[in-house]
A and B are shown apart, each in its own frame.
Chain A
Amino acid sequence: MRQDRWADKLEEQLKDYQESPSSDLWAGIEARLDNEAGRGARVVWLRRWAVAAVLVGVLFGGGYVIWQQFSADAVMPTGPANVAAQADAGHDDGADNLSVDNRQLAVVKRLDTINEEKSGLSVAVPQETTQNRETINNNRETVNNNRETINNNGETINNNHETINNNREVIANVGEPKTIQYSLSTVHSPSRVSLNLYASGGAKGVAQANGVLMSPSMLQNFALSRASRADDSQVYLAGYEEREHHDRPLSFGLTASYQLVPRLSVSTGLVYTKLNSEFVTVMRQDRVTRHQRLHYMGIPLNLRYDFWRWRGLSIYGSVGMQADWNVSAKADTDGIEQEQVEKDRLQWSAGGSLGIQYDVLPPLGVYVEPGFRYYFDNGSNVKTYFKEHPADFSLQLGVRLSW
């Protein structure tokens, strides 16, 4: 049954019409088939090489950052024994230097110590005085006397006594005038920058089916005027249906975070998202299946607040927005690629999440972030998961590299 009689007659009239091409096209088709076969093999190899190159890059890059982190830890004094040993060594072979430099001594503070200080704790630092050299040990803290340097975000404090005013820590000492300096460049400081690599998404999606409305002309043909219907309800065609299924978005992101103030950090980067959809048009016995694949590149901007930290465990919340550009749109109908597929417009979304992170190594943490995201209507005709399911829960899994 067709919707219009004239359309039926037109289709019937041309149903078996054939018109031979004026020239033989087979030679060209055969040559193109040979080319396609060769190109397919090359594309497969190129893809494999590209994946291998990315993996090697990530492994070496990550390995280098971790190695740098451990190298920094290795050269840093980590306890009284080391500090004493270092102090002794300085005394043994650096007597002249001590006299020239007026015995430079450094105060080195570990992350955990500084965190304690920032919480408002005052730490009394034990002292050792050996002639012109003074060693202060307190949780990986070394004080070299006469000119004392405490590094903390480039802040310099001059004092006759060893005093770190910024952290309300007073190091009692009697001696010569000393310079106290905090600097990021020479000591191990709190993690301010981190790199996040994550994935989110899943295979399940949303599905729906719509009936196909009978056209006004067909309503006339079948004398289904308003009067014949109980109300102004719509009339659907029997046997015609449009079904659609949207997979959940699958995303991979690489973002960098920067700590603005203690506990609060901002992050941005690049996120790749893939959307798969399937549209099935059912016309009685016939089915036409169309697959749509949309690829987005997005830029997120998030604020994160750390609620709680204990040893390697932390709980945090984050809110932010994201802009996604549809960089590629592909579709095939019954397995045949369409050449021109309409791209989606810029997609904005906003959301929040709650995360938990565990540091498996000092610089390397793994995290899970369940969250909520709302996709704003961008007004385009392209049917996507974002439009069918604008409010969505998501789960993000990732690793975070901090230094």
Chain B
Amino acid sequence: METEQELLRGVQTGDRQAMRRLYECYKGYAMAVALRYIPDGNDAQDVVQDSFVKILTSIGRVDYQGEGSLRAWMARIVANCSIDFVRKHERLQFTDAIPDMASEEPEPERIPPEVLTRMIAQLPTGYRLVLNLYVFEHCSHAEIARRLGIREKSSGSQLSRAKVLLGKMIRDYIKRHGI
């Protein structure tokens, strides 16, 4: 079994077969990341394709930093490409409205991953971007505000709103399916 580092070394030498193996190995994960941002499957595929072109043309500059770092780096690229796609094709709407307070915390662990992914993708654009950046990209509100061109306070309120809405979706799903 080829390790991540060996695969990276092969790709960095320009070996097309190694590139193909890298794609086969991570295409599923890349698609899962893209689908959290982009509800439409075809659009998500286009973004995954763009992302792999960027990954393979920039991989020469990557310094290996341990097992899992290559996957994390690739996920960031897919996330960035997805954000660019959303900003280009969707009208960003951010609201500073005070969210309704949720009575209890969401329970995402009770929801199948594919359903949870679709739920996140269905969130309004602003909520979806902020939630993804905060939860999966580990960005601070200051960083989110800078990347999306919004105020730091807005980022916090968008996240609270997203959390409430996602919690409601999760509770409805649990109730409907009797999980």
Real binding pair: yes
Interface of A toward B, CB cutoff 8 Å = 2, 5-7, 9-14, 17-23, 25-26, 28-30, 32-33, 36, 210, 212-213, 215-216, 240, 242, 281, 283, 285-286, 288, 333-340, 342, 381, 383
**Contact between A381 and B146 (Cβ–Cβ < 8 Å)?**
yes
Query: B174 at interface (Cβ–Cβ under 8 A)?
Result: no
Choose one: A2, A17, A28, A29; the contact of B114 (CB below 8 Å).
A17
**Contact between B31 and A29 (Cβ–Cβ < 8 Å)?**
no
Choose one: B58, B108, B143, B149; the contact of A336 (CB below 8 Å).
B58
Known: A11-B135, A340-B87, A342-B149. A17 touches B56 (CB 8 A): no
**Contact between A25 and B52 (Cβ–Cβ < 8 Å)?**
yes
Query: B35 at interface (Cβ–Cβ under 8 A)?
Result: yes
Choose one: B16, B31, B149; the contact of A19 (CB below 8 Å).
B31
* Least CB separation from B28: chain A residue: A18
Residues of B within 8 A of A215 (CB): 141, 156
Give the top 8 A-B pairs by smallest Cβ distance, nearest first. Answer: A18-B28, A17-B113, A339-B84, A335-B61, A10-B108, A335-B58, A7-B135, A25-B49
CB distance from B63 to the nearest CB of A (A): 10
CB distance from B39 to the nearest CB of A (A): 13
Query: B140 at interface (Cβ–Cβ under 8 A)?
Result: yes
Residues of B within 8 A of A10 (CB): 106, 108, 116, 135, 166
A242 to B138, CA, bound (A): 12
Query: B168 at interface (Cβ–Cβ under 8 A)?
Result: no
**A9, A11, A18, A283: which has the most chain B beta carbons within 10 Å?**
A18
**Contact between B49 and A6 (Cβ–Cβ < 8 Å)?**
no
CB distance from B43 to the nearest CB of A (A): 12
Choose one: B32, B54, B66; the contact of A18 (CB below 8 Å).
B32
Known: A26-B20, A213-B140, A335-B61. A14 touches B73 (CB 8 A): no
A28 to B73, CA, bound (A): 22
**Contact between A36 and B57 (Cβ–Cβ < 8 Å)?**
yes
Overall SS of chain A's interface: mixed
Tell me how many residue pairs across A and B have CB atoms closer than 8 Å.
Answer: 131
Known: A212-B142, A240-B140, A335-B58. A286 touches B72 (CB 8 A): yes
Contact with A along B1-31 (1 / 0, CB 8 A): 0000000000000001001100110011101
**Contact between A283 and B138 (Cβ–Cβ < 8 Å)?**
yes
**Contact between B140 and A17 (Cβ–Cβ < 8 Å)?**
no
**A21, A36, A333, A340: which has the most chain B beta carbons within 10 Å?**
A21
Residues of A within 8 A of B166 (CB): 10
How many chain B residues sit at the interface, stated as a range, is 35 or more
Query: B169 at interface (Cβ–Cβ under 8 A)?
Result: no
Query: B38 at interface (Cβ–Cβ under 8 A)?
Result: no
A178 to B106, CA, bound (A): 103
Q: List 21 A-B contacts (CB under 8 A).
A: A6-B105, A9-B107, A9-B108, A11-B135, A14-B116, A19-B35, A19-B117, A21-B27, A21-B31, A21-B45, A22-B45, A25-B27, A25-B48, A29-B49, A29-B56, A210-B142, A215-B141, A240-B140, A335-B61, A336-B54, A337-B54
Query: B64 at interface (Cβ–Cβ under 8 A)?
Result: no
B residues 130-155 near A (Cβ < 8 Å) are 134-136, 138-143, 145-146, 149
Residues of A within 8 A of B143 (CB): 242, 281
**Contact between A33 and B29 (Cβ–Cβ < 8 Å)?**
no
Known: A17-B114, A20-B27. A339 touches B81 (CB 8 A): yes
**Contact between A334 and B62 (Cβ–Cβ < 8 Å)?**
yes
CB distance from B162 to the nearest CB of A (A): 10
B residues 105-121 near A (Cβ < 8 Å) are 105-109, 111, 113-114, 116-117
* Least CB separation from A31: chain B residue: B53
CB distance from A235 to the nearest CB of B (A): 13
Residues of A within 8 A of B57 (CB): 33, 36
* Least CB separation from A338: chain B residue: B80
**Contact between A11 and B136 (Cβ–Cβ < 8 Å)?**
yes
Choose one: A7, A29, A339, A383; the contact of B52 (CB below 8 Å).
A29
Residues of B within 8 A of A283 (CB): 138
CB distance from A198 to the nearest CB of B (A): 33
**Contact between B140 and A212 (Cβ–Cβ < 8 Å)?**
yes
A340 to B32, CA, bound (A): 22
**A19, A240, A335: which has the most chain B beta carbons within 10 Å?**
A19
Residues of A within 8 A of B145 (CB): 381
* Least CB separation from B107: chain A residue: A9
A26 to B140, CA, bound (A): 35
